Amino acid sequence: MNLVALDLRHNYLVDIEPLREMKTLKQLNLSSNMIVFIDALRDLTQLTEVNLDQNKIQDFKPIQHHKKFAKYTMNWQEIPTQANICHSLKLKNVREQFEVQCSLQNQSLK
């Protein structure tokens, strides 16, 4: 399968493990689901755009080494702080790496 774009927003997804085999994906929208773990994205190294808005992701380490990201969106996450996200992704200068939109206003902070 040579699928390059997939939009799975608003599907109440919890488990994204089946995505692990979709190695040709470049654009992935997983916004507005119930995702906690993103380990399945670890080997999807062709991804250039990922939307993880409005999920419950607890660990961003599985995607910290992705180098092709042009846009990464994770608004409205239930996360501790923006600094913790950037630290877990090992970002020193967010703008140099890729566009990260961290809107933490009106969120449930732990």
pLDDT digits (tens, 9 = 90+) for 76-90: 555 444 445 555 555
CATH number where 61 lies: 3.80.10.10
In angstroms, the CA 52 to CA 77 distance is 8
Judge whether 108 lies within some domain: no
Residue 106 lies in a domain: no
Task: Show the CA angle centred on residue 39, arms to residues 15 and 34, nearest 5°.
Answer: 35
Is 15 within a domain? yes
The reply to whether 107 falls in a domain is no
Cα 77 from chain centroid (whole Å): 10
Assigned domain for 62 exists: yes
What's the confidence (pLDDT) of residue 31? 93
Q: Is residue 99's pLDDT more than 60?
A: no
Which domain covers residue 50, as residue numbers? Answer: 5-101
User: Is 60 a domain residue?
Assistant: yes
Note whether residue 109 is domain-resident. Answer: no
Domain count, the chain: 1
pLDDT digits (tens, 9 = 90+) for 37-59: 999 999 999 998 889 988 988 88
Q: What is the pTM of this model?
A: 0.69
The overall longest dimension of the chain from CA atoms, in Å, is 40
